[in-house]
A and B are shown apart, each in its own frame.
Chain A
Amino acid sequence: MAIKKDNSKKAKASSINLATLKRQRSLLIWGGIITIYGFIFYYLPLFGWLTAFQNYKPKDGIFHSQFIGLEKFKMLFSDESFIRVIRNTLAMGVLNLVATFVMAIVFAILLNEIKNKAGKKVTQTISYLPHFLSWIIVTGILHDMLSGTGIINEVLVNLHIISQPINFFAHEGYFWPIVAFANVWKETGWNAIIYLSAITAIDPSLYEAAAIDGAGRWGKIKYVTLPGIKSTIIILLLMNVGNVLNAGFEIQYLLGNGLIQKVSQTIDIYVLKWGISQGDYSLGTAAGIFKSAVSIILILIANQIAKRNGEERLF
């Protein structure tokens, strides 16, 4: 399986002396250039966090803007709509995580049970397709499918489940499930790749042993396949927990509308709205810092839980 220890660390790095520096000259030069690049594009923006504690004005810049302490954070948490976007982001993040996670595992296990090689290959190839489509395309498709004359309404009306076509984008109750479904549609096949390769790595003799013990298909899945991919599941869960708050921008931005903005707006959209459109850079930055802080706390908690249970960890 992919998750294996890096054995290369056994070899010691050279000690620092003039001869080594000279020998590694080209590594040092290129490493230096790349570090400068990384500093500018990944670390310099972190200094921009200072703007959250200032009354930042573009004309004054980061060095001359007035320092106001935690005022912007106080503004943020007294804003009812910010509390709402936190709720939306968390709810959709967790809903998406659970839905895509469960579906990917189920799909991988069931696909593995398909014995027809060609059918399996074709199904898998098709399952990757939506991952390669942009959210623009996916939301366009969703609009078509869920519109008044779209296939979903047509099927529901013809089955007499509903009498009138539903306007799915006008009711708050539908938005979160639609977002979760779109994520499942887009990523199930892609996310299943890693589980499928984990399943292939399971020792076939375990299945034979299970068969001798009288295990049927379900038994084999329950006692061999699932335990066999358990560590992969946990590692991926850990990696994704920190991303829960990141899952909330493109689709919500593209699908949301005025009627349902109470449930569709997320932290990222809030940042865009206040920071860029309204020009309150400081407030936008403060909201961004809050999001980063929560993400890091989530990763650390997930890692700690895994550690306590003696499971694989990220670090």
Chain B
Amino acid sequence: MEKVISRKKRKSVADRIFVVCNTIFMILFVAITLYPVINTLAISFNDGTDALRGGIYLWPRKFTLKNYITVLQKDSLVTGAIISVLRTVIGTVLALVANAILAFIVSRKEFIFKKQLSLFWVITMYVNGGLIPTFILYKAMGLTNSFWVYVIPGMISAFNMLVIRTYMNGIPDSLEESAQLDGAGYTTIFVKIISPLCKPVYATVALFVAVYQWNSWFDAMLYNRMSDNLTTLQYELMKLLSSVTNQGTSAEAMKNSEGNVTPTSVRAAATIVTMLPIICIYPFLQRYFVTGLTLGGVKE
């Protein structure tokens, strides 16, 4: 009897040590995740020249709004923000409609080319032409120096299509069968019966596409470098980053700074502006992307 009790006690001590260590690990994890973001926030509200001295951690030392005012006065950043919003909205709508239509078609069990069409798209997940052939093609198609290069090429993606298809496959057949008996065509079934049931998975795919669109910068650099009116927020942020990196010494940075604003502090403000929409939205969409990821793990 005593032996059992002492074993239990030992176990509970080990248990407690585990709980303490685990809690410390999680707190460290959260701190490492959040600190850089909070630090950037503090620098963005701090006087630029003052920030060069270092020593700003969680709170600004010399509070100012000048960094944000500078950001809002930069034409390139404002243009970039407008284009980024446009490409996110238009790109998401187009991608959602296209992927949903394709998923609907390949989830029709009676469709005669169901297998072939699925395979056609699954192959694209593993084989692609690569950067240079794609570049040559877009140039030949007149997609370079145009807004459409942001939203047309990546419109349908096999991964997003498969996520929606898996969800559609889970919808009971009886619903559409009864509609078919009432004489409904495929368009009606897609718009009136399947799509309303697919709202959760549509939200998931919309989130994936929207984040991708908002965060893209490489296409702006590669295809639209010459068109200043087609720049995006992320690309402008990248230019700010390289200007800061190339500045090197702080003395040089101070020389280039206007008033109390330095490239570093302006970049911090621009970074916050760029991440703000995402930070505000994603916590409320957790349910959706968890669903999407688990559906995406489905084996073809």
Known A26-B185, A31-B105, A107-B29: A136·B111 in contact at CB below 8 Å: no
Q: Does residue A213 face the partner (Cβ distance < 8 Å to B)?
A: no
Determine if B102 and A34 form an interchain contact, defined as CB atoms under 8 angstroms apart.
Answer: yes
Most buried by A among B18, B186, B245, B297: B297
Binding stretch for chain B, among A87-95, A127-135, A171-179 = A127-135
Are the CB atoms of B299 and A140 closer together than 8 Å?
no
Which residues, 15 to 57 on B, are CB-close (under 8 Å) to A? 15, 18-19, 22-23, 25-26, 29-30, 32-37, 39-40, 43, 52-55, 57
List residues 31-58 of chain A with CB under 8 A from any CB of chain B. Answer: 31, 34-35, 37-38, 41-49, 51, 58
Residue contact B34 to A126, C-beta cutoff 8 Å:
yes
Taking CB atoms, residues of chain B closer than 8 Å to A21 are: 112
Residues of A within 8 A of B35 (CB): 151
Residues of chain A within 8 A of B294, CB atoms compared: 1-2, 193-194, 197
Given known A137-B275, A193-B293, contact A47–B133 (CB-CB < 8 A): yes
CA of A197 to CA of B291 in the docked complex: distance in angstroms? 10
Q: How many chain A residues have a CB neighbour from B under 8 Å?
A: 100
Is the beta-carbon distance between B128 and A119 smaller than 8 angstroms? no
Interface-located stretch among B65-73, B115-123, B198-206, B254-262: B115-123
Query: Chain B contacts of A189 at CB under 8 A?
Result: 33
> Is residue B187 within 8 Å, beta carbon to beta carbon, of the partner chain?
yes
Known: A49-B129, A132-B278, A292-B127. A151 touches B39 (CB 8 A): yes
Complex: chain A residue closest to B152, CB-CB: A41
Would A127 and B33 count as touching, CB distance under 8 A?
yes
Q: How far is the CA of A129 from the CA of B241 in the complex (A)?
A: 21
Q: Given A6-B298, A27-B108, A154-B54, decide whether A288 and B130 contact each other with a Cβ distance below 8 A.
A: yes
Query: Residue A125 contacts which of B127, B185, B217, B283 (CB distance < 8 angstroms)?
Result: B283
Check B237 against A48 for contact (C-beta < 8 Å): no
Given A113-B22, A288-B132, A3 and B114 touching (CB < 8 A)? no
Q: A46-B127, A48-B132, A107-B29 are in contact. Are A134 and B113 (CB under 8 A)?
A: no
A235 contacts B299, C-beta separation under 8 Å: yes
B241 partner residues in chain A, CB cutoff 8 A: 136, 139-140, 143, 254
Q: Does A314 make an interface contact (CB < 8 A)?
A: yes
Complex Cα spacing A162 to B111, Å: 68
Residue of B nearest to A250 (CB): B218
Query: Smallest CB-CB separation from A236: which chain B residue?
Result: B297
B93 in the interface, Cβ–Cβ < 8 Å?
Answer: no
Q: Is A111 a contact partner of B26 (Cβ separation < 8 A)?
A: yes
**A141 and B40 within 8 A (CB):** yes
Within 8 A of B (CB), among A1-17: 1-6, 8, 11-16
Q: Hey, which chain B residues are within 8 Å of A129, CB to CB?
A: 33-34, 37, 279, 282
Q: How far is the CA of A197 from the CA of B241 in the complex (A)?
A: 38
Q: C-beta contact mask, A271-314 vs B, less than 8 Å → 1, else 0?
A: 11001100001001100110110011001000000000000101
CB-based contact A128/B282 at 8 Å: yes
Q: Is the CB of A2 within 8 A of B29?
A: no
User: Bound state CA distance, A215 and B205, in angstroms?
Assistant: 42
- Within 8 Å CB of B133, what residues of A? 45-49, 51, 285, 288
Q: How far is the CB of B250 from chain A (nearest CB, A)?
A: 8
Docked CA distance A14–B43 (Å): 64
A13: which B residues are within 8 A, CB to CB? 109-112, 114-115
Q: Is A185 an interface residue (CB 8 A)?
A: yes
Residues of B within 8 A of A70 (CB): none
Minimal beta-carbon separation of A47 from chain B (angstroms)? 7
Tell me which of B43, B110, B274 contacts A137 (CB under 8 A): B274
Q: Are B290 and A45 in contact (CB under 8 A)?
A: no
Question: In angstroms, how far is the closest chain A Cβ from the Cβ of B209?
Answer: 13
Report whether A144 and B39 are in contact in the complex, using a CB–CB cutoff of 8 Å. Answer: yes
Q: Which residue of B lies closest to A33 (CB)?
A: B101
Asked if A26 and B169 sit within 8 Å, CB to CB, the answer is no
Q: Which residue of B lies closest to A137 (CB)?
A: B271
Q: Does A81 contact B (CB under 8 A)?
A: no
A20 contacts the other chain (CB 8 A): yes
Closest 8 CB pairs of A and B: A48-B133, A45-B129, A288-B130, A149-B54, A134-B215, A2-B297, A11-B109, A45-B133
List A residues at the B interface (Cβ < 8 Å): 1-6, 8, 11-16, 20-21, 24, 26-28, 30-31, 34-35, 37-38, 41-49, 51, 58, 62, 107, 110-111, 113-114, 119, 122-123, 125-130, 132-137, 139-141, 143-145, 149, 151, 154, 185, 188-189, 193-194, 197, 216-217, 232, 235-236, 242, 249-250, 254, 257, 268, 271-272, 275-276, 281, 284-285, 288-289, 291-292, 295-296, 299, 312, 314-315
| 10 CB-based A-B contacts, threshold 8 Å | A28-B113, A47-B129, A51-B136, A113-B18, A132-B215, A141-B36, A149-B52, A193-B289, A197-B294, A242-B126
The interface of chain B, by Cβ under 8 A from chain A, is 11, 14-15, 18-19, 22-23, 25-26, 29-30, 32-37, 39-40, 43, 52-55, 57, 98, 101-102, 105, 107-115, 117, 120-121, 124, 126-137, 152-153, 155-156, 166, 169, 185-187, 211, 214-218, 222, 234, 237-238, 241, 244-245, 264, 267-268, 271, 274-275, 278-279, 282-283, 286, 289-290, 293-300
